[in-house]
Amino acid sequence: MRIDTISRPQDTIRQFILDSVNLPDLDDDFDIFETGIVNSLFAIELMTFLEKAFNIKVTMDDLDMANFKTVNTTAQFVLNKQGASGV
């Protein structure tokens, strides 16, 4: 699996989700957990992907489904983490 983070966080995150669920397209405000398109492992897979792709560490305080429910909220979470850590 190649992880490319040169593009905007939204693009990187969207592509990971699309690859994971094999969908042709995904709206950046689509709630991926409410709609059942992902399996029970996906929460941790997404977390692991974010940590590796964006060089961040997801902590217990970050655990809030609101952070990860859409491409846009996840991208905002990543930007906040990077801003907080100076990445």
Are the beta carbons of 53 and 5 closer than 8 angstroms?
Answer: yes
Residue identified by tokens 């991926």 is 32
Tell me the closest approach of the beta carbon of residue 83 to other proteins, in angstroms.
Answer: 22
Instruction: Report the residue number, 23 or 80, with the smaller CB distance to other proteins.
Output: 23
Nearer to other proteins, 63 or 87 (CB): 63
As given in the structure block, the two tokens for residue 2 are 């190649």
Rounded Cα gap, residues 34 and 62, in angstroms: 19
CB of 33 to other proteins, least distance (A): 9
Cβ contact 55:5 at 8 Å: no
* Rounded least distance, CB 61 to other proteins, Å: 8
Q: Binding residues for other proteins, per CB under 8 A? A: 1, 16, 20-22, 24, 37, 39-41, 43-49, 51-52, 60, 63-65
Separation of alpha carbons 87 and 27, rounded Å: 27
Residue 28 vs 45, nearer CB to other proteins? 45
